[in-house]
Amino acid sequence: MPSDATPDPYAHPIAFGQRLKILRTRRGMTRAQLGGLVGDRTASWVRALEEGRLQTPKLETVLRMAEVLRLPDLSALVGNSSVPVSLFAGPGHARLGAVKDAINAYPLTMRREAPTTAHIQARLARAWTARHSAPNHRDVIGALLPDLIRDAQLAVRQADRAADRRAAQSALSEVYSLSQFFVAYQPDAPLLWRIAERGMIAAQESEDPHAIGVASWLTAQAHRDSGPGHYDAADKVTADALEFLTPLLPDASDHVLAITGALIFEAGYTAARRRETGTAWRRWDQARAMALRLPGDYYHPITSFSRAIMGAHAVTVAVELRAGGESVRQAAASDATAIPSRPRRARHRIEEARGYQLDGQPDVALDTLDRAHQAAPETIKYNGYAKAIVLEHVESKVPARRRRASELAFTLGLLTA
């Protein structure tokens, strides 16, 4: 390796502090940003860790660092680890390979006739319904996606008229949206980005405002979840999409109103990640106003945006702002049973658990994670926040808490007998 090359943080025996500095730098994060996100620590504290003047922190702090740095595995930060944990990317779903093969293929031949766009849209509607209702939603949509991807790609290729091609591109964009939900938190970041970019291109080609809004929403999420160095890009995507959609709102359908509301909240989510309290809550208020323009029983099939979801969104804002007491108050005011989607309900339970954890109520946090598992086991299995909470309490000095956390850890596959 050249002398001026960046060291590999996974090479042994690089010290913890060196690994931390390399991984932080790669994420585009300052010491002050990392320290603040870990738990109101200072930049000098992070520097002391990186320079080896402080010992490796306790497990709970290391877990939080790995969470903030969006590391695929705890060992990336600590080297050889006695706890085999994948924080944000599990071992990969059994159907990931088949989905990836379909995404990577290009239908250049015309040996069979593509299904009609209406047929593809009907299959998509059934797939979204299955995603929201099945506890093993990744398994269900993972089985449907390969054929959907191939058929939607083929429909675009075989469309002769401009209107038919735009309709086919809209359907293809939605197929990519469904694919992005499946690939999220899987161990293949390049695949996620490939899907997001293709979804945006297909949406733009379709000229469909709803498709463009959904693709923008998912692209902004991909940027936001890539770390602080990508927050500006997330904000730019949401701002551009809102500028495009806003003039259309007076005569917009419920779906366009909903995706606009989802994008407004997305801007608030990123603001909360930045710890911009005023902006985050202002955006939540604006999103709630948009939700109130929707029918009371309306529920967006892709983003889950609705009146019912705003309580869950309030919990997320409070948690991302690291406000434990406010998180608990918002959790008490929200109604998880009003969320019809099982994976979205499970995600809300995880956010509630994060709030209870922040508020110093670990036993309630574990109970809430158990309810998340009951709602949708595959959601909690691939969620890094849930894993970090569970693993922290595996080492608890309180026997009952340690036992409960260990049971959850075994259930989630984080620990083996």
pLDDT by 10s per residue, the chain, length 417:
444 444 444 444 568 888 888 888 888 888 988 888 787 788 899 999 988 888 888 777 887 788 788 776 677 787 755 444 455 555 578 899 999 999 998 777 667 888 999 999 999 999 999 999 988 888 999 999 999 999 999 999 999 999 999 999 999 999 999 999 999 877 788 899 999 999 999 999 999 999 999 999 999 999 998 888 889 999 999 999 999 999 999 999 999 999 999 999 999 999 999 999 999 999 999 999 999 999 999 999 999 999 999 999 999 999 999 999 999 999 999 998 899 999 999 999 999 999 999 999 999 999 999 999 999 998 888 888 888 888 888 878 899 999 999 899 888 877 654
Answer whether 0.75 is exceeded by the pTM.
Answer: yes
The neighbour count for residue 396, using CB atoms within 10 Å, is: 17
* Residue that the structure tokens 């402080």 belong to: 54
Distance CA 176, CA 182 (A): 10
| Spatial CB neighbours of 367, under 8 Å, sequence gap ≥ 6 | none
In the chain the domains, ranked by start, together with CATH numbers, are 16-78 (1.10.260.40), 91-207 (no CATH)
SS3 call for 361: coil
Query: Among residues 170, 240, 250, 164, which one has the least CA distance to residue 202?
Result: 170
C-alpha to C-alpha distance for 250 and 269, rounded to whole angstroms:
25
What does the angle CA 171 – CA 172 – CA 175 come to, to the nearest 5 degrees?
A: 90
Residue 356 CB-half CA count within 13 A: 20
Residue reference for tokens 């015309």: 110
